[in-house]
Amino acid sequence: MYFRCFAGCPEKHSIFDVIYTCPNCGSLLEVHHEREPLKTKTAAEWKQLFSSRASTSVWPYGSGVWGMREWVIPMLADENVVSMFEGNTNLFWAERLGEQLGVPDLWIKLCGNSHTGSFKDLGMTVLVSVVKQMMQQGSSVKAVACASTGDTSAALAAYAAYAGIPAVIFLPAGKVSTAQLIQPVANGAHVLALDTDFDGCMKIVQEVTEDNSIYLANSMNSLRIEGQKTVGVEIVRQFEWEVPDWIIIPVGNLGNISALHKGFQLMIDLGLIDRMPRLVAAQAQAANPFYESFKAGFENKVSKTAKDTLANAIRIGDPVSYEKAVTAVKETNGIVEQASEDELAEAAATADLTGMFCCPHTGVALAVLKKLVANGTIGKDEKTVVVSTAHGLKFTDFKVGYHESTLDGVTSRHANPAARLPADASAVKDEIARRLSL
Ligand SMILES: *Cc1c(COP(=O)(O)O)cnc(C)c1O
Ligand SMILES: [Zn+2]
């Protein structure tokens, strides 16, 4: 395996080199796995191997990422795997929600049930492991850094701390939740809050990492895609190797939809599956450059200044992995759709009433699902998976704001504030009787 230019330049680069873009044309790189060595196992053997490792405690195969080690970074030494047994998250049947929305075969992949509360852990275990091996081999790298809307920095800080590698985090001041800010602080990262937005932080971190002593961990670094792509394989494994009809995922920088496609492509090439699911990229209307590109037939990349959105992890105006995501959408007959602040909050609140606890990004995906079912794009018999990307507990400001009816541009139709009552049994009985219509 090696890095190659996504735009097609012929050079190969070692994945242990400090390199993020093609030195020739400036395009993103991608990790390429030669198919021939992987074809020494049959499709049935791969399925059996991956299924047998899932959720065991055998190092490092009990990790959902490293359980597919041969497909991720085969040449990584055991002692350099930096893993907290990420992945293997639950995929559950959202029976009541699916019925309400008119897609009874609706499944939620709860990626937020993970170490730092978002699916960013999947990519970060890979990136930090490679950095550990680079450092062991005498590389100039001394630390890792990223600009972040919150979840990337939490994952980087945690995995770097686990490995004992210093981490530098650049955050847009005042634009991430308390929970997102406090994670890197607690993990001992060097947290720098800058007076700019995410795209501004991204520019600074690229300058700071130019001299090769600090390794850039943003998703322009395609190592992370290798870990993130395991979600697609994991979903199919959890369905006993059946491919769902649709997968809906909230998108910002567009690395993760590219990763899903990459995982599915590998499964097709090795014969584990015979078709692609249709991928849906769900954007917040306040930060929708990919939606606009899609509407214009992907003629040009649209970049714009992202506006404020409750879905702050996808508040991105100039998505790094644009070209890869265009390929992912085109090759899966995919769709890009958007959701307003009111729609995302409503969708999250409705889902919460069926037992979920959705982050705002998952709200974006669910609002998009609702639209696609309503306009007949997603049929009522189609197996549909929504990727829930972060844990709702990271976004309590969003939840509290909704139920206190204080969110801008949002009508809290399902506000359910706690009732304040005297400590008096008859008052309590009256209240319960009134609520339950007893
Ligand atoms: C990073 C992230 C996304 C979007 O992933 P991209 O690769 O940036 O498109 C969605 N939801 C959450 C919670 C995230 O942290
Ligand atoms: Zn190139």
pLDDT tens figures, 190-210: 999 999 988 899 899 999 999
Span from the CA of 312 to the centroid of ligand 1 (angstroms): 9
Q: Tell me the ligand closest to 10's alpha carbon.
A: 2
- Considering the domain architecture, whether residues 22 and 100 belong to the same structural domain is answered as no
Which residue among 177, 389, 398 is best mutated to probe the pocket of ligand 1, counting the most ligand atoms within 8 A of its Cβ? 389
Span from the CA of 248 to the centroid of ligand 2 (angstroms): 30
Does a structural domain hold residue 204?
A: no
Task: Please name the residue whose Cα sits nearest to atom 11 of ligand 1.
Answer: 389
Span from the CA of 437 to the centroid of ligand 1 (angstroms): 43
For 123-160, the pLDDT digits (tens) are 999 999 999 999 999 999 999 999 887 899 999 999 99
- Considering the domain architecture, whether residues 6 and 111 belong to the same structural domain is answered as no
- Considering the domain architecture, whether residues 2 and 97 belong to the same structural domain is answered as no
Span from the CA of 21 to the centroid of ligand 2 (angstroms): 8
Task: Please name the residue whose Cα sits nearest to atom 2 of ligand 1.
Answer: 313
Does a structural domain hold residue 385?
A: yes
pLDDT of the residue at 98: 98
- Considering the domain architecture, whether residues 25 and 102 belong to the same structural domain is answered as no
Q: What is the pLDDT along the chain (438 residues), one digit of tens a residue?
A: 999 999 999 999 999 999 999 999 999 999 999 999 999 999 999 999 999 999 899 999 999 999 999 999 999 999 999 999 999 999 999 999 999 999 999 999 999 999 999 999 999 999 999 999 999 999 999 999 998 878 999 999 999 999 999 999 998 888 777 777 899 999 999 999 999 988 899 899 999 999 899 999 987 899 999 999 999 999 999 999 999 999 999 999 999 999 999 999 999 999 999 999 999 999 999 999 999 999 999 999 999 999 999 999 999 999 999 999 999 999 999 999 999 999 999 999 999 999 999 999 999 999 999 999 999 999 999 999 999 999 999 999 999 999 999 999 999 999 999 999 999 999 999 999 999 998
Among the atoms of ligand 1, which is closest to the Cα of residue 359? Answer: 13
Which residue among 115, 177, 201, 256 is best mutated to probe the pocket of ligand 1, counting the most ligand atoms within 8 A of its Cβ? 256
Which residue among 361, 368, 387 is best mutated to probe the pocket of ligand 1, counting the most ligand atoms within 8 A of its Cβ? 361
Determine whether the shortest distance from the Cβ of 389 to ligand 1 is under 6 A. yes
- Considering the domain architecture, whether residues 21 and 103 belong to the same structural domain is answered as no
- CATH number for 354: 3.40.50.1100
Determine whether the shortest distance from the Cβ of 255 to ligand 1 is under 6 A. yes
- Considering the domain architecture, whether residues 357 and 252 belong to the same structural domain is answered as yes
The full 3-state SS of the chain, as one line of letters, equals: CEEEECCCCCCEECCCCCCCECCCCCCEEEEECCHHHHCCCCHHHHHHHHHHHCCCCCCCCCCCCHHHHHHHCCCCCHHHCCCCCCCCCCEEECHHHHHHHCCCCEEEEECCCCCCCECCHHHHHHHHHHHHHHHHCCCCCCEEEEECCCHHHHHHHHHHHHHCCCEEEEEECCCCCHHHHHHHHHCCCEEEEECCCHHHHHHHHHHHCCCCCEEECCCCCCHHHHHHCHHHHHHHHHCCCCCCCEEEEECCCCHHHHHHHHHHHHHHHCCCCCCCCEEEEEEEHHHCHHHHHHHCCCCCCCCCCCCCCCCHHHCCCCCCCHHHHHHHHHHCCCEEEEECHHHHHHHHHHHHCCCCCECHHHHHHHHHHHHHHHCCCCCCCCCEEEEECEEHHHHHHHHHHHHCCCCCCCCCCCCCCCCCCCCCHHHHHHHHHHHHCC
Determine whether the shortest distance from the Cβ of 121 to ligand 1 is under 6 A. no
- pTM: predicted TM-score of the whole model, two decimal places: 0.96
Determine whether the shortest distance from the Cβ of 252 to ligand 1 is under 6 A. yes
Does a structural domain hold residue 302?
A: yes
Determine whether the shortest distance from the Cβ of 123 to ligand 1 is under 6 A. no
- Considering the domain architecture, whether residues 10 and 101 belong to the same structural domain is answered as no
Q: Tell me the ligand closest to 336's alpha carbon.
A: 1
Determine whether the shortest distance from the Cβ of 116 to ligand 1 is under 6 A. no
Does a structural domain hold residue 301?
A: yes
Domain housing 1: 1-32
Does a structural domain hold residue 309?
A: yes
Does a structural domain hold residue 436?
A: no
Span from the CA of 189 to the centroid of ligand 2 (angstroms): 34
Does a structural domain hold residue 414?
A: no
Determine whether the shortest distance from the Cβ of 98 to ligand 1 is under 6 A. no
pLDDT of the residue at 25: 97
Does a structural domain hold residue 45?
A: no
Count of domains for the chain: 2
